[in-house]
Amino acid sequence: MDDKLPEDRSTPFSGSIHSHPELSSQATRGNTCASFQYDENQKSLCLASRQSTITEEVNADSLERYSFELEEKIRDKDVSAGHSYVGAKEDEGKAKEIRREAKLEVSTDVVLRNEKYLKDFILFCSIFPSDYEFTKDMLVWQWIAEGLINLGEDEIMEGESIRCFDTLLKLGYIMPAGYNHRIDQMKYRVGEEKVNAFIQKQQYLEPKFQKYLDTEEITDSLKVDRLSLAFKEIDCINFWTSKHCGQLKMLSIHRCYGSKMKNLLPSDLFLKLQALKILNLSHTDIMALPSSVENLKALQCLDMYATPIMGLPESMRCLSNLRTLNLDGCLSLRTLPKCTSMLINLRHLVLDVVGQLQSMPAGIGKLSKLRTLRAFLVGEDEGSRIGELKDMNKLKGSLLISNLENVSTKEEAAEAYLCNKQDLKKIELQWSDLQDNKNPDEEEILESLQPPLGIEELKIFFYSGGVLPSWISNPSFTEVVSITLYKCRYCDTLPPLGELPALKFLSILEMNEVVEINSLFCRRNQITNQHRHVAFPKLEKLSFDSMAKLEKWTGVVNGDFPYLRHLIIAHCGELVVLPFLSHLNSLLHVEIINCPQLSCLPEGGLPPTLELLMIKDCPKLKERCCNDQCDDWPKVARIPAFYINNQKVSV
């Protein structure tokens, strides 16, 4: 979510939204349901999951009920459209549209009837303001904290909740709201029209979920389980009623556009809210939590996203059930409390570690259940060294390990046990950019930081060793699709990355000691007539940028790079030789930028598939192919889009 509030904010709502009296239903469902279709020929209901389409036969009663509901819906829509039912049949186009809309609505109703979790999830979302934005992860974690789904293992509950989220997204109960590039995640909001229509059908349910414009409207605080408050003048909040909602499980406070909130919450706000599981204060002006937060023994989710909070109280040590702590966008926060290591049930610690913190809290390695931690800052002191990662084997998603210059020995590096963290998919290893000299010790340290074999993306920044690790080109890394090597300034050779079977994207930047790229970049062993290994069998995009000493790129043979589509060579001031490229029959896009010594295109020319060639700031190369009198003109004459210095050349 963006730190800035949207320009157009709707007027806050008033009144209440009703929900089921027993919201935490514990039904176990199968993994089928994402979209719904009725097949008239096969007389079956088709539930399309993300992985496969599953067709379930419907018994006669269900089929009869579906058909009856469908005909009723068609009649309703036909009347509302101002046509008679017979008239709609005469107008074939109108009839098809009415029937399509009716099928969609009835099939949605059937999905909701068959998926018990979905109703509870919709009711949960109904208390959010129409302009409230959230990420998939935060909503899923709140569902779990609320107890709407209970399947034992965290991985199972999260997987089932994500499946349900995707279903609600397809059905329109959740809507996309943009993309947050800073955290590389989609933002969403509630599909208000769909949710309101659903709520109108639930009038028989008790008012356990409520959202209000003013707490004075709450008539029976003892019956309120989940409360969402939104205010135009949030300075005037009357917290008295919310303090006495003794059964309250969720409290969510939202400010309206242009409003301001008190910097401090009442010191006694949490004294009686001992059943509270979710506290959402995101986007408010709260600068501190009162020490009475220690009374929230049941609290599982605390969302402080984008608040000016400067620190958390040490009384948080009592929150032993806390599973999710969202501090992302809290730009004034510089440290976490010393008691952080006591939050032993914490699963998700969400914040920009590198941008917000100066160091990790001591003893964070005790949080062995942690699944979300974007980055780890390696410190020099006991309790903040890289060995704190040893038991964090449940970490998932992405992890940046920064300040690796503070690791002294290979033995210390090995204590991180990166290879045991099987759920990590993206790993970034980063040293300080201020190191001025080659450091051979870093070679053994990096060798000891081998990631798990299931990673998909690897980045190495500011490495000062002279040789890249042996594991980086191990074919056993069958899932790696992206590698970035940035400012590995003292490496003079490239490893045989061509042996990675799934690699699609490779960027090599500012490796200034590399003079030649040869066949060892493609494969470890020399080619023989009996066995020829295809180098880079899946690579689609290759970029060499700012390679100050690179003179030659050779060693590419027929069959290598079979799927390469984009090739970028930029700022290689000494480059004079390019490899044989005419056999790259998937190549579509080539850029050659600021390579002043390059005087000709590759021998054999360019592949006939090439659609775009861009040459910029390459004076010698320009003279070879700028018009039909030049030596290399036959190599470029058939390229549909050919540019020199940003000017299209007519071919």
Same domain, 332 and 316: yes
Res. 231: pLDDT tops 80: no
Q: Are residues 229 and 311 in the same domain?
A: yes
Output the pTM of the full model: 0.82
User: Has residue 464 been placed in a domain?
Assistant: no
Q: How many residues does the chain have?
A: 651
**Least reliable range by pLDDT among 129-138, 234-243, 428-437, 538-547:** 234-243
Evaluate whether 412 touches 387 at the Cβ level (below 8 Å): yes
Q: Are residues 171 and 240 in the same domain?
A: no
pLDDT digits (tens, 9 = 90+) for 252-288: 888 765 556 566 788 888 988 899 999 999 988 888 9
**Cα dist. 624→423, 587, 602, 621 in Å?**
51, 22, 12, 5
Q: How many domains does the chain divide into?
A: 2
pLDDT in tens, 467-518: 999 999 999 999 999 999 999 999 999 999 999 999 999 999 999 999 999 9
H runs (alpha helix) in 172-219: 192-200
Domain assignment present for 628: no
Are 220 and 277 in the same domain? yes
Nearest to 299 by CA among 264, 274, 272: 274
Place of tokens 């009716």: 102
Nearest to 27 by CA among 206, 174, 164, 165: 164
User: What are the CA-CA distances from residue 79 to residues 87, 95, 197, 201 (Å)?
Assistant: 10, 12, 19, 20
The pLDDT confidence band at residue 58, using thresholds 50, 70 and 90, is very low
- Average pLDDT across the chain, whole number: 82
Cα–Cα dist 252/190, whole Å: 15
What is the domain-level CATH number for residue 268? 3.80.10.10
Please say if the pLDDT value at position 547 is more than 50: yes
Task: For residues 49-72, give the mean pLDDT.
Answer: 42
- pLDDT value, residue 13: 30
For residue 43, the model assigns a pLDDT of 30
326 part of a folded domain: yes
Whether 248 and 166 share a structural domain = no
If you average pLDDT over residues 35-61, what whole number do you get? 33
If you average pLDDT over residues 321-338, what whole number do you get?
A: 95
Cα 131 to Cα 136: distance, rounded to the nearest angstrom: 16
CA dist., res. 590 & res. 575, Å (int): 16
Q: Which of 24-38, 406-420, 587-601 has the lowest mean pLDDT?
A: 24-38
pLDDT given for residue 208 in this prediction = 54
Q: Kindly report, residue by residue over 620-632, the tens digit of the pLDDT.
A: 999 999 888 888 8
36 confidence band (pLDDT: 50, 70, 90)? very low
Choice among 204-218, 230-244, 373-387 with the minimum mean pLDDT: 204-218
Which structural domain range is residue 179 located in?
101-201
How would you class 372 by CB atoms within 10 Å of its CB: exposed for 0-12, middle for 13-18, buried for 19 or more?
Answer: buried
The 10s digit of each residue's pLDDT in 556-582 is 999 999 999 999 999 999 999 999 999
Residue 370 has pLDDT above 80, yes or no: yes
Residue 358 forms part of a structural domain: no
- What pLDDT digit, counting tens, does each position of 155-191 carry? 899 999 999 999 999 999 999 999 988 888 999 999 9
Name the more confident of 241 and 380: 380
- Terminal alpha carbon distance of the chain: 48
Taking residues 12-26, report their average pLDDT.
29
pLDDT tens-digit profile of 428-463? Answer: 999 999 988 999 999 999 999 999 999 999 999 999
Q: Which residues contact 184 (CB under 8 A, 6 or more apart)?
A: none
Position 332 pLDDT exceeds 50: yes
The whole-number pLDDT of residue 154 equals 86
Q: What is the pLDDT of residues 110-145, one digit of tens each?
A: 667 667 789 889 989 998 988 899 999 999 999 999
Residue 216 has pLDDT above 70, yes or no: no
Residue 225's nearest CA partner among 148, 156, 281 is 148
Q: Rounded to whole angstroms, how far apart are CA atoms 219 and 222?
A: 9
To the nearest whole percent, how much of the chain has pLDDT over 90?
Answer: 60
Question: Are residues 225 and 338 located together in one domain of the fold?
Answer: yes
- Top pLDDT among 95 and 393 is at 393
Domain end marker among 169, 201, 233: 201
Q: Same domain, yes or no, for 235 and 146?
A: no
Largest CA distance in the chain: 89
Q: Which residue has the higher pLDDT, 580 or 24?
A: 580
Note the pLDDT of residue 266.
82
The whole-angstrom separation of Cα 259 and Cα 233 is 6
Alpha-carbon distance 429 to 376, whole Å?
10
pLDDT of 84 above 60:
no
CATH at 172 = 1.10.10
Whether residue 51 is contained in a domain is answered as no
Predicted local confidence at residue 372, as pLDDT: 97
Query: HEC string of 509-540?
Result: ECCCCCCEECHHHCCCCCCCCCCCCCCCCCCC
Nearest to 131 by CA among 256, 226, 252: 256
Instruction: Please report how the helices 60-80 and 92-114 are oriented relative to each other, as an axis angle in degrees rounded to 10.
Output: 130
Backbone angles phi, psi at 142, to 5 degrees: -70, -40
Q: Which residue has the higher pLDDT, 59 or 126?
A: 126
In this structure, the answer to whether residues 112 and 189 fall within a common structural domain is yes
Range with lowest mean pLDDT among 174-188, 313-327, 390-404, 523-537: 523-537
* Res 422: pLDDT: 97
Q: Are residues 123 and 191 in the same domain?
A: yes
- pLDDT score for 436: 85
Residues 122 and 175 in one domain: yes
Q: Which parts of 333-468 fold into alpha helices (H)?
A: 353-356, 410-414, 441-447
| Inside any domain, residue 591 | no
What pLDDT, on a 0 to 100 scale, did the predictor assign at position 69? 52
Q: Cα separations (Å) of 354 from 12, 349, 377?
A: 36, 13, 7
Q: With the C-alpha atoms ordered 371, 376, 378, 381, is the resulting torsion angle positive or negative?
A: negative
- For 204-215, write each residue's pLDDT tens digit: 554 456 565 444
| Mean pLDDT, residues 593-601 taken together | 96
Last residue within a domain, chosen from 289, 311, 344: 344
109 and 222 share one domain:
no
Strands 53-57, 505-509: pairing kind: unpaired
Give mean pLDDT, residues 546-555: 96
With respect to residue 271, please indicate whether it lies within any of the assigned structural domains. yes
Give the gyration radius of the chain's Cα atoms.
30
Q: Out of 302, 319, 344, pick the residue that ends a domain.
A: 344
β-strands 53-57, 174-180 pairing: unpaired
Question: Distance (Å, rounded) from C-alpha 311 to C-alpha 398?
Answer: 25
Averaged over 49-64, what is the pLDDT?
Answer: 36
| Mean pLDDT calculated for residue range 218-229 | 70
Residues 122 and 226 in one domain: no
Q: Which residues, listed in sequence order, are joined to residue 402 by a DSSP beta bridge?
A: 377
On whether residue 225 sits in a domain, the answer given is yes
Give the single-character DSSP code of 385: S
Helix, strand, coil percentages, rounded to 5, for the chain: 25, 20, 55
Sorting pLDDT into bands at 50, 70 and 90, what band is 62? very low
